[in-house]
Structure 1
Amino acid sequence: MAGDQLKVLNALDVAKTQWYHFTAIVIAGMGFFTDAYDLFCISLVTKLLGRIYYHVDGAAKPGTLPPNVAAAVNGVAFCGTLSGQLFFGWLGDKMGRKRVYGITLILMVICSIASGLSFGHNPKAVMTTLCFFRFWLGFGVGGDYPLSATIMSEYANKKTRGAFIAAVFAMQGFGILGGGIVAIVVSAAFKAKYNVPAYEVDPIGSTVPQADFIWRLILMFGAIPAGLTYYWRMKMPETARYTALVAKNAKQAAADMSKVLQVEIEEEQEKVEKMGKERANSFGLFSKAFLHRHGLHLLGTTSTWFLLDIAFYSQNLFQKDIFSAIGWIPPAKTMNAIEEVYRIARAQTLIALCSTVPGYWFTVAFIDYMGRFAIQMMGFFFMTVFMFALAIPYNHWTKKDNHIGFVVIYSLTFFFANFGPNSTTFIVAAEIFPARLRSTCHGISAASGKAGAIIGAFGFLYAAQSTDKSKTDAGYPAGIGIKNSLIVLGVINFLGMLFTLLVPESKGKSLEELSGENEGDENSGAEMEQQAYHGNRSTAPV
C-alpha cells in the first residue's frame, strides 16, 4: 500500500527535478560514454591491424585479420562484459551500489591503457595480449551496466525516472560518436605529420611504420573520461533504497537524502525494522515465489535484450564491411592504411551523428509520455521493416547510384534501435525488480544481451562471408552473404516484438509499486512459495 512507503523513498519519488539529478546523470553517464567508446572503437582499427600485422610482402592485396583472429578481437570484450555484468550485478546487491562502483572505473582505466600497449614478438602474440586486456576491459565495462542503471533508477523521481535513466544510457551514443571523432583526428594528424597521400601507385605496401601508433592511441584514449569520473563517483552517497530496504539503516538513508534533497526527512528506523521482520523470509532469486511474481518479467527482459543485441552489435561492429560491400567506402587496395582508418571513422561518425545519437535523445524526450512498452514495440517493428527493405532488394542497393538510399535506410535502423529497444531494455530492467535483487536481475538481463552481442560478433563475421565460389575455393571462408545475413537480422527483430509482450509497463509508478515492496501485507517467503505452488496469482503486480 502506498501508505506504507517510507518517507525518505516517498521524498525521492515526488522530488522536483533539481541539480542532483543532473549531477547523477553526468556521473553515471560518463561511465557509459567510456563503455561505448571502449566497446566500439575496436571496429575502427581492425582493418588497420590486418594491414600492419598480417600483410605478406609481395601479396596482391592488403593484409587482413584471419576470421578467427578478427572474431576474437571484436568479440572478446563482450565475453568480459557478460562476466562483469553477472559478477558486479550480484556484488552490487550484496555490498551496495557505491562500494563497487569505483572498481569498474579503475578496471576500465588500467585496461584501456594496457590494450594500447599490447606487446609481443610476432602478430599472434600482439593479438593475444590485446585480447587478454580487452577481456578485462569488458569485465569493467560490464559492471557499469547494472550499477549505473540501478543507481539512477533509485535516485530518480517516478514522474521523470524513464528520462533520467535514458539520459544516462544516451551517453553511449556520444561514446560511439567520440570514438569516430578521435579516430578521424588521430588519422588526419598522422597523415599531415608524415605527409602520407591518400592514394598511391602502390597503396598495398605503403603502410608507414608510424601507423602502429594510431590504433594504440585510439584504444588508450578511453582511459581519459573514465579517470576524470572516478573522484565524483566516490563522492556520491549510497542510494536510499539500498540503505533503507536492503541494509536496513533508515537513519543513514534519511541523513544522505536530506543532504541531497536539501530538506529535512524523518528517519523511520522502527518502521524499517518492522518491515525487515515481516519480510525476513522474503523470496530469493529463482525461488518459486520469485518465478511466480517476476519470472515472466525476467524472461521478457532477458529475451528482448538478447535479440536486440544480436542485431545491434552486428550492425555496429561490421558496418564497415557492409559499407565496403556496397561501395560507399572504396576498396582497401585503392588507398593506404591511414586513409582507410580515416574513411571508416568518417562513415561511422556520420551514421552516429545523424541517427544513433538522435535516437537516444528521442527516447529521453518521449519515454515518460509514450511509455516503455510502446517505444520498444515501435523500435523493433521499424527495425524489422528496414532490415527487410535493405535485404530483399539488396542487389539494387549495391549499384553505385543507390548507395545514398542504402545508407539512409541503414541509418534509420540505428535510429529506431535507440529510439526503441536498445534504450528501453536498459531502463525497464532497472525498474521492475525488488531492491535486494535489482542489480542482480539487471546484470542477468544485460548479460543475456551480451550473449546476443557475442553471437552477433562471432556469427555475423562468418555468416556475412562471400558466397562467391571462386573466393571460397581460394581459401576464403564460406558464408550466407550479407543479403541473407540482413534477412536473418530482420527475423530476429520480429521475434523481439513478440517477446516484448512479456515486459510490463513501468511508466509513472514507484519502484516499490512495481516490485511489490510497499505492500503492507506482503506475504512472507514461505507464504509466497505456497501460493506459487498452488498457482495463486492474486499478489502479482499489475
Structure 2
Amino acid sequence: MVSEEADSWGLGEGGSRSWPTSKPERVDDQVTVLNEHRRLSLQEIDNARFSWIHAKICFVAGAGFFADAYDIFAISIIVSMLGYVYGNEDGNLSPWQSTGLKVATPIGNLIGQLVFGSLADIFGRKRVYGAELVLMVTATFGQALAGHGRAVNIVDVLVLWRFVMGIGCGGDYPQSAILMSEFAPIRTRGRLMTAVFSCQGWGQLVAGLVGLITVSAYKGAIRDASYPAIYPVDCIWRIIVGFGCIPGLIAFYFRYTIPETPRFTMDIQRNIAQATRDINNILSARRHTVAKGLSSDTLVMAPRASLADFIKHFSEWNNLKVLVGTAYSWFALDIPFYSLTLNSSAILTYSNFGKIDGNSPNDVYESLFRICSGNLVLTVAGFLPGFWVSFCLIDSWGRKTIQFMGFIVLTVLFMIMGFAYVPLNSTGPGQHAFIFLYCLANFFQNFGPNTTTFIVPGEAFPTRYRSTAYGISAACGKIGAVVAQFALGHTLLNSNKDMQIVLEVLSFVMFTGILSTQLIPETNQKALEYLSNESQEAYITGAIERGVPLYA
C-alpha cells in the first residue's frame, strides 16, 4: 500500500491513467500535458515490479559497500598486528599512531561525501559512479605494498593511503543510496536500500573471517618464528588489507553498466522524452508513447539547481529542519558507532576477550586469534541480526519509528554499561554480561539509527539537491566519527577507567539523537516527489528546443 498523500498526487497504485500522446494547441494545455507526462513517468518507477535492474543495482551498490566496510573496519584488527611489527617493546603502536590510522579514513570520508555528493547532482549519478571506486581500490593496493624505511615511517604512509581510501569510500555513500532510492518502487524502497547498506555488516564479517583464517594459516610460522614474530605477522596484515581489493574490482566493471536514473534525466537534465524511453527500456512492462512534439532535443522549463535556489529552498524551516535532522542524527550515531567499532579490539581486551600481555611467539598468536575471533563474534551477534530485522520491518514500521526506538534503547544500554561498568567487569559472569550488552547495543545500532540515517537522506530532498544534501548529512556523520576518535577513541586506549566515562558520555549523545529524530519526516510508503516539499501540480512551466521556446 502507498500513502494517501502519494496517491493524491497521482503516484499511487489506484486508478486507470492514460498516457498523453497528443499535442494540444493552447499553451496552458501544452504545459498541462508536460506535467501529466512527467507525473505518469514517475508513477511507472514508483509502481514498477521488482525486476532484474533492481537486483543489479542492489548487487553493484552493495558490492561497493561491502568493500568500504571491509577496508574501514579491518583496521581494528590490523592496528594490533602493526603494533607487533612496527610498535614499541610492548607490541603496541603509540596512541597517536593508532588514532591517526583510525581517523584518517573518516576524514577522507567527509571530503568524499561532500565532493562526490555535489558532483552527482551536476554531472549525473552514472557519470561519477565508479570514479570513487578507483580511488578506493588504488589506495587499498597501496596500503598492502607500503614499505618502512629510515626516512619514512610506514604508519605515516598508511595514514596517507587510508585518507585517500576514505575519499573513495565516502563518495560511495551518496552514489549508492541515491541510485537505489531513485530506481526503487515505493513499496519496497526501504528494503532495497537496507539490502545495500546491510553489506556493511557482511564486510565486517568477512574482515573478521579473513583475519581468523589468515592467522590460523600462519599459526605454525608464528610459533616457530624467532622472538619476536615479526615476519609472519607482517605478511598477515598485508594479506588482510589486500583482500579488500577483490570486491572493489568485481564491482568496478558493473558500475559502468548501470543506467542513469530517469529522475536525474527528467528533473535535472530536464529531458522527459529521454527519461520515458529509459523507463520503457529498463523498468516498464508496458511501452508508452512519448507525447507528440517532444523529442530528445526538447528540454522542459522547471526548477533548476543553483546556489541562490539552494539557499532559497533551505531557508524555509520546513526544508531546513529535515536537513538538520538527518545531519545531526547521523552525527550523533557515528560518535558511538566509530568510537566503539574501530576500537573493538581494545574493548575486548578490557573484558579479557582480546589481546593478552606478552610478546613471545605463542602470546602473539593467541592474542591475534582472540582479537579476530572476538570481532567475528561481535559482528555475528549484533551487527548482522540488526540489519536482518531492519530489512524485514523497515517498510512496515517506518524509518522514523525504528530510528526513534533505536536511540531510546541505545541511551538506556550505554547508561547501564557506563554506570555499572566496574561491577560488570569485576567478575567472569559480569564480563560475559558486559559483552552481551555490547552486542545488544550493536544490534540496536543497526536495527535503529545506523540503518535509518543511511536511508532517510536518500528520500527526503528534491532530486536536484538529493545527492548534495545526502553528502552533507553523511559528512556530518563523519565529523562525529572524527570527534569520536580524537575525544573518545584516544581515551579508550589509555585506561580501563576511562572506558566507563566514554560509555556514560555516549548515553547522553544517544539522548540528543532522540530529539533530532523529531525533525525528520516519516518517508515510508511515500513518493520521493511528495517528500521534496515542493508543489508538483505545475512543476513544469514550459519547454525549449535547441534554445528556442516551444511553449512557456
The answer to whether residue 48 in structure 2 is matched with residue 15 in structure 1 is: yes
**Structure-to-structure mapping, 1:300-379, within 5 angstroms:** 300-329=325-354, 331-333=356-358, 335-379=362-406
The answer to whether residue 290 in structure 2 is matched with residue 267 in structure 1 is: yes
- For the residue of structure 1 that corresponds to 2:395, the secondary structure is helix
Q: Residues of 1 paired with 2:489 and 2:147: CA distance? A: 26
The answer to whether residue 79 in structure 2 is matched with residue 46 in structure 1 is: yes
Match of 2:181 among 153, 158, 161: 153
Q: Residues of 2 paired with 1:219 and 1:95: CA distance? A: 32
Q: Which residue of 1 aligns with 2:254?
A: 232
- Percent pairwise identity: 36
**Comparing 427-436 with 105-114, which one deviates more in the overlay?**
105-114
Q: Residues of 1 paired with 2:131 and 2:64: CA distance? A: 12
CA separation of 1:195 and 1:519: change in aligned 2, threshold 3 A? closer
Q: Residues of 1 paired with 2:64 and 2:172: CA distance? A: 7
Are the aligned partners of 1:166 and 1:364 in contact in 2 as well (CA < 8 Å)?
A: yes
Gaps of 5+ in 2: 1-7, 11-35, 542-552
- For the residue of structure 1 that corresponds to 2:83, the secondary structure is helix
Are the aligned partners of 1:240 and 1:256 in contact in 2 as well (CA < 8 Å)?
A: yes
Q: What's the CA shift string for 1:387-423, capped at 9, x where partnerless?
A: 1111111111212232211111110100000000000
- For the residue of structure 2 that corresponds to 1:433, the secondary structure is coil
RMSD, aligned α-carbons: 2.3
Are the aligned partners of 2:222 and 2:233 in contact in 1 as well (CA < 8 Å)?
A: no
Are the aligned partners of 1:207 and 1:336 in contact in 2 as well (CA < 8 Å)?
A: no
CA separation of 1:206 and 1:151: change in aligned 2, threshold 3 A? same
Q: Which amino acid aligns with 1:389?
A: I
Match of 1:508 among 500, 504, 525: 525
Shift of 1:518: 5.7
Aligned length, in residue pairs: 502
Q: Which residue of 2 aligns with 1:255?
A: 277
Match of 1:81 among 109, 112, 124: 109
Shift of 1:461: 2.7
Q: What's the CA shift string for 1:183-241, capped at 9, x where partnerless?
A: 0111111114x2627xx9xx9x4324221111111111111001001111111110000
Shift of 1:288: 3.2
Are the aligned partners of 1:45 and 1:341 in contact in 2 as well (CA < 8 Å)?
A: no
Q: What's the CA shift string for 1:119-141, capped at 9, x where partnerless?
A: 13149621111111111111100
CA separation of 1:284 and 1:162: change in aligned 2, threshold 3 A? farther
Match of 2:70 among 33, 37, 44: 37
CA separation of 1:311 and 1:411: change in aligned 2, threshold 3 A? same
Gaps of 5+ in 1: 57-61, 469-479, 525-542
Are the aligned partners of 1:8 and 1:266 in contact in 2 as well (CA < 8 Å)?
A: no
**Comparing 418-427 with 104-113, which one deviates more in the overlay?**
104-113
Q: Residues of 2 paired with 1:424 and 1:2: CA distance? A: 25
Q: Which residue of 1 aligns with 2:440?
A: 412
Q: Which amino acid aligns with 1:377?
A: F
- With the length of structure 2 as denominator, give the TM-score of the two structures: 0.86
Shift of 1:312: 0.7
Q: Residues of 1 paired with 2:147 and 2:442: CA distance? A: 35
Match of 2:161 among 133, 150, 154: 133
Q: Which residue of 1 aligns with 2:9?
A: 2
- For the residue of structure 2 that corresponds to 1:429, the secondary structure is helix
Q: What's the CA shift string for 1:350-377, capped at 9, x where partnerless?
A: 1111210110121111011001110000
Q: Which residue of 1 aligns with 2:312?
A: 288
Q: Which amino acid aligns with 1:178?
A: V
Shift of 1:280: 5.2
Q: What's the CA shift string for 1:295-329, capped at 9, x where partnerless?
A: 11000000000010001111101121111112122
Q: What's the CA shift string for 1:322-348, capped at 9, x where partnerless?
A: 111121225232753343222111101
Shift of 1:379: 0.6
- For the residue of structure 1 that corresponds to 2:323, the secondary structure is helix
**Comparing 407-416 with 338-347, which one deviates more in the overlay?**
338-347
- With the length of structure 1 as denominator, give the TM-score of the two structures: 0.88
